[in-house]
Amino acid sequence: MKKRGWGLGCMWYGIGNTGMPNPSGAFVELLDDATVILLTGCADIGQGSNTALAQIVAEELGVALEMVKVVSADTGVTPDAGATSASRQTYISGNAVRKAAETAKKPLKEKAAALLKVAEEQIEFRDYKIFPSFDPKCALPLKNVIRECRRDGLLTLGHGSFNPDTAELDKESGRGIPYATYAFATQWAEVEVDTETGEVTVLKIVAAHDVGKAINPKAVEGQIEGGCSMGLGYALMEEVILEKGMILNPGLSNYLIPTFKDMPEIISLIVEEEEETGPFGAKGVGEPPLIPTAPAILNAVSNALGIHFTELPLTPEKILSALHEKNNKGAFQEGDLDA
Amino acid sequence: MSKGKELSFTLNNKPVTVEVEPHTILLDLLREKLGLTGTKRGCGEGECGACTVIVNNEAVNACLYPAWKVENCSVLTVEGLGSEENLHPLQEAFLETGAVQCGFCTPGMLMSSYALLQKTPDPDDDEIKTALAGNLCRCTGYVKILEAVKKAAYKMKQSEVNEEK
Amino acid sequence: MLEAYYKPASLEEALSILDDFAGRARVIAGGTDLVLQLMHKEVAADVLVDISGLRQLRKIREENGRIVIGALSTHTDLSESSLLQEKAPLLSAAAGSVGSLQIRNVGTVGGNIVNAQPAADTAVALLALDATAKVVSLSGEKQVLLEELYSPLGGSNLNPCREILTEISFAPLSKSKAGGAFVRLARRKAVALPVLNVAVVIHSEEAKGALTDARIVMGPVALTPFRARKAEQVLRGSFPGEESFCRAAGLAADEARPRDSRFRGSAAYRKELARVMVLRALTIAQSNLDGQGVNR
Ligand SMILES: Cc1cc2nc3c(=O)[nH]c(=O)nc-3n(C[C@H](O)[C@H](O)[C@H](O)COP(=O)(O)OP(=O)(O)OC[C@H]3O[C@@H](n4cnc5c(N)ncnc54)[C@H](O)[C@@H]3O)c2cc1C
Ligand code: FES
Ligand code: FES
């Protein structure tokens, strides 16, 4: 028989390294033709940080994304940005590149304020123009102001760095400020369980993630969807099998990860609860998506069968074994292993 | 002693002749000898599809494919799909939908998708999943790849309609 | 390291190359098993004789009332064959369940048989269909029951350094007189070897009448694909239905000798699976026989 069930998983997760400094630095230079060079140590391993960081810089300087040339993760030339881990790069390196861009535009701001005869705080940068926020019509072209700066022998370049506000944890009590900010998420899963074989089919996942501000919504969805597939694998099939310290399944033929056919429809819901200390309100989303998936799936199986499961991966055998126990048929026992 | 022999085949629509030893696997011939590193080695055991290329219109795993099998065959790799200046609709669609993250699975995904669309120009979700089940992706959860293949199918149909006009 | 790679243009040439190297040369078809076995040094060969160019060995036809499949037909050929979909749907389903599309495009039914894995999907289905194999060598041609190609200790009796499997044939499942089914469970939904697969074929002379024959094959529960003979025996002569099918499924599970595996699960679990899946397969086969099912 097939039984359906529905389950929720919720999580909160600290962004950045736990209770320790983990700064990131960046350099930004704005060239004569409004091309921007961004140097960041941040390694883009596919999550899209090169794009997101460039977007932050472009937004700060009021130029198009295509103008920002990113040089990243080259230890020969880029400043340290820390590891691409801990869901930290958008938040921490995002702040660093934004500050670097702010510093790079400082001379432009001063120059424009003088030319427009307004206070520096009232100056805005948008669409290659610099203007007083109260009167966008009297705007100066960005390139003209850059030229004015050059005439004075001023370069438009800056560096920036950011270190999240944390405090070391007390060794006794564990108290302190482990993270400057947190991501929150809830996922919902619908499953179908075959009560005679123990096979689970995940039919749908809905994943709602508070990311502060989605700098690049498509990339955020990509992180959510990918995290759900890792979470589904974690829930149902992924396991490093050890024997006397040796891994018995070191390859993709035995360590199974979800295929195209294992993945259900995923509906990503991006929640934007602005983080005051984040770049344009952003936090992180790298790891959070894979955290609540397994709980949601296991809760859905529990909901379908009325049995609570606490062990991962939840294989068909574990499910059938628990069903047999529930029906007083006895769980499966192992004899000699022939793996 | 194993001795190499001259092997001739069509590679990305151009004839090639190259000396190949009896034990050479197609993946090594492409990557090491011919310098076409677009085709990736993921697992080297037929499990991941990163090495997928097309031989005579069918997707195969180059990591399990003796190079001598391609004698007089037509082989298509990702390098033959499109160029940076002139992307194939599949490549465009992958970019536009965000179907590429780390990119390691992408050449294989593109080739499997290409083989599918040649055979089934208007595939449904199930047909896409079946055709791409042998291509593992650790990053995307496959959602945007599914979207990309559908978008590419649409683009390819549109461009056919336009050509007919 | 290989000395040579031959691509003979005819069967005769292939056999004579094998003969020339007297045991040092081996047949390769798709290579989806052999290439890895050579790499991992599980199989030794100095010379490979690639027979995949022998077009006449790639066919799926009905000849003289039997379905004849060339050994070089790929799993894709089998799963897409409308002839098989109509007259032996369990075989096209089994072929369609193998690995990935890339593997199915290259792997052949002949290789699946000669590689002799206990759960080789198409071999399990072909054994349920009571198939016959044609084996050719320099000393001539012989027809043997597919079952006889398996050594009781596991592995194939066919010697790929001397003999070539050219074709497999079986009687089509005649409408309303025979029904078959193939069911399979794996650790994920694609590209995974079976935790258990089951193929069954049942025969009956008249609608709802007693079963005249039954074959139940499964794997991997023994060193070779396993025929549940006791279960088959109780079905012969009994009327199809829940009662007889449950009994047969129970017997099949008793007969099966799976071993505990860190990857596939405990023997106890897979015995229970055998019961469930044989029952399911029989039920599907019966509805196919009755002409109601989706026939697979
Ligand atoms: C990733 C992956 C997934 C797989 N999944 C499955 C699966 O789900 N189910 C399954 O059943 N199999 C699976 N396989 C195994 C394999 O693909 C099949 O067994 C395939 O049918 C083998 O055929 P081949 O033509 O590639 O054989 P080859 O590798 O060419 O040959 C296999 C053996 O048979 C011999 N041989 C081949 N043809 C002949 C012939 N005509 N006459 C004499 N000897 C011959 C060879 O000498 C060799 O010993 C998988 C393999 C891989 C790599
Ligand atoms: S490298 Fe060929 S399938 Fe993984
Ligand atoms: S994009 Fe990274 S594996 Fe697919």
Per-position DSSP letters for A254-302, written without gaps between them: TS----GGG--EEEEEEE----TTSGGG----SSGGGTTHHHHHHHHHH
Asked whether the CA dihedral A69, A75, A77, A78 is positive or negative, the reply is positive
pLDDT at A329 over 90: no
Identify which of B2, B66, B129 has the shortest CB distance to residue C31.
B66
Chain C residues whose beta carbon lies within 8 Å of the beta carbon of residue A324:
272
- CA dist C5 and B4 (Å) reads 10
Report helix, strand or coil for C142.
strand
Q: First CA to last CA across chain A, in angstroms?
A: 30
Prior bond of C220 cis (ω within 30°): yes
Report the mean per-residue pLDDT for chain A: 96
Averaged pLDDT for residues B107-125: 98
Chain center to CA of A233 = 19
Q: Among C12, C32, C50, which residue terminates a domain?
A: C50
Question: Which of B41, B43, B39, B119 lies closest to B76, judged by CA?
Answer: B39
Question: pLDDT band for position B163 (50/70/90)?
Answer: confident
Give the phi and the psi of residue A32 in degrees, each rounded to 5.
Answer: -55, -40
The tens digit of pLDDT for each residue in C90-138 reads: 999 999 999 999 999 999 999 999 999 999 999 999 999 999 999 999 9
Per-residue pLDDT reduced to its tens digit, C156-173: 999 999 999 999 999 999
Does pLDDT of C295 surpass 50? no
Residue B159 confidence class, pLDDT cut points 50, 70, 90: confident
Residue B27 has pLDDT above 50, yes or no: yes
Least confident of A134-143, B15-24, B56-65, C286-295: C286-295
Residues 241-270 of C with CB under 8 A from A: 259-263, 265-269
Which is nearest to B30 in space by CA: B76, B88, B71, B81?
B76
> Could you tell me the two tokens for A49?
């940080």
The dihedral over CA atoms of A98, A100, A102, A105, expressed in degrees to the nearest 10, equals -130
One-letter amino acid for residue B126 of the chain = D
A287 in catalytic set: yes
Quote the pLDDT of residue B133. 98
Residue C286 identity: Q
C260 lies in some domain: yes
Q: Does B22 touch chain C (CB under 8 A)?
A: yes
C289, C178 in Cβ contact below 8 A? yes
Task: Break chain A into its structural domains and give their ranges.
Answer: 2-15+182-328, 24-162
User: What ipTM does the predicted assembly reach?
Assistant: 0.97
Q: How far apart are CA C48 and CA B22, in angstroms?
A: 8
Q: How many CB atoms lie within 10 A of CB A253?
A: 17
| Averaged confidence pLDDT in chain C | 96
Expressed as residue numbers, the domain containing C18 is 4-50
Assigned token pair, B55: 């031989």
d(CA C272, CA C278): 10
Whether residue C207 is predicted with pLDDT greater than 90 in this model: the reply is: no
Q: What is the mean pLDDT of residues C8-15?
A: 98
List, in order of start, the domains of chain B with CATH numbers: 5-81 (3.10.20.30), 89-164 (1.10.150.120)
**pLDDT given for residue A332 in this prediction:** 82
Half-sphere exposure of B135 (CA within 13 A, CB side): 34
**What CA–CA distance (Å, rounded) separates A311 from A7?**
16
Question: Which DSSP symbol is given to A195?
Answer: T
DSSP state of C108: B
A2-15+182-328 and A24-162, same CATH topology: yes
A24 touches chain B (CB under 8 A): no
Residue C146 lies in a domain: yes
C19 within domain boundaries: yes
Q: Could you tell me if C17 and C122 lie in one domain?
A: no
Look at ligand 3, atom 3, and give the residue with the nearest C-alpha. Answer: B137
Distance from the B45 Cα atom to the nearest Cα atom in chain A, whole angstroms = 8
For residue A338, is pLDDT > 80?
Answer: no
The alpha-helical segments, DSSP class H, found in chain A are 49-61, 94-104, 106-116, 142-151, 217-236, 293-305, 316-326
- Compute how many other C-beta atoms are within 10 angstroms of the C-beta atom of residue B86: 7
Inter-chain residue contact A219 with B98, CB threshold 8 Å: yes
pLDDT digits (tens, 9 = 90+) for C272-294: 999 999 999 999 999 999 886 55
Taking the Cβ of residue B121 and every Cβ of chain A, the question of whether any pair is shorter than 8 Å is answered with: no
Asked if C189 and A261 touch (Cβ cutoff 8 Å), the reply is yes
Q: Is residue C235 part of a domain?
A: yes
Q: How confident is the model at residue B156 (pLDDT cuts 50, 70, 90)?
A: very high
**pLDDT of amino acid A267:** 98
CATH topology for the A24-162 domain: Aldehyde Oxidoreductase; domain 4 (3.30.365)
Nearest Cα to Cα of residue C11 among C164, C238, C239 = C164
Ligand 1 atom at shortest distance from the alpha carbon of C103 = 17
- In the numeric block, which tokens belong to residue C91? 């075989």
- Shared domain check, C188 and C106: no
CB C29 within 8 A of CB C51: yes
Q: C152 and C110, same structural domain? A: yes
Q: Among A204, A201, A220, A250, which residue's Cα sits nearest to residue A2?
A: A201
Contact criterion met (CB < 8 Å) for A338 and C259: yes
Q: Which residue of C has its CA nearest to B116?
A: C101
Instruction: Report yes or no on C295 lying in a domain.
Output: no
- C-alpha–C-alpha distance, residues C68 and C169, integer Å: 4
pLDDT value, residue A36: 98
b/e for A123-160, b at 16 or more Cβ within 10 A?
Answer: bebeeebbbbeeeeeebbebeebbebbeeeeeebbbbb
In a domain, C294, yes or no: no
Taking domain A2-15+182-328, whether its CATH number is 3.30.365.10 is answered by yes
Q: Which residue of C has its CA nearest to B20?
A: C5
Residues C98/C169, Cβ–Cβ less than 8 Å: no
Q: What percent of chain A stands above pLDDT 90? A: 96
Tell me, yes or no, whether C154 lies in a domain: yes
Contact A183, A38 (CB under 8 A): no
Count helices and strands in chain B by DSSP H and E runs: 5, 5
Contact at CB, C35 and B71, closer than 8 angstroms = no
Domain boundary residue among C170, C186, C210? C170
> Do C165 and C272 belong together in one domain?
no
A143-182 residue pLDDT tens: 999 999 999 999 999 999 999 999 999 999 999 999 999 9
Of A287, A317, A325, A334, the active-site residue reads A287
Q: What is the pLDDT of residue A336?
A: 42
Q: B17 has which bridge partners?
A: B8
In whole angstroms, what is the distance from residue A87 CA to residue A91 CA? 8
> Residue C66 maps to which CATH number?
3.30.465.10
Query: Could you tell me if C162 and C62 lie in one domain?
Result: yes
* Chain B residue at shortest CA distance from A222: B140
**Number of domains into which chain C is organized:** 3
Could you tell me where the DSSP H helices lie in chain C? 11-20, 34-39, 75-80, 82-87, 89-96, 101-106, 109-114, 121-128, 229-235, 242-255, 267-289
CATH number at residue C255: 3.30.390.50
Strand duo A68-72 + A36-40: pairing: parallel
- For residue A146, how far is the Cα from the chain centroid? 35
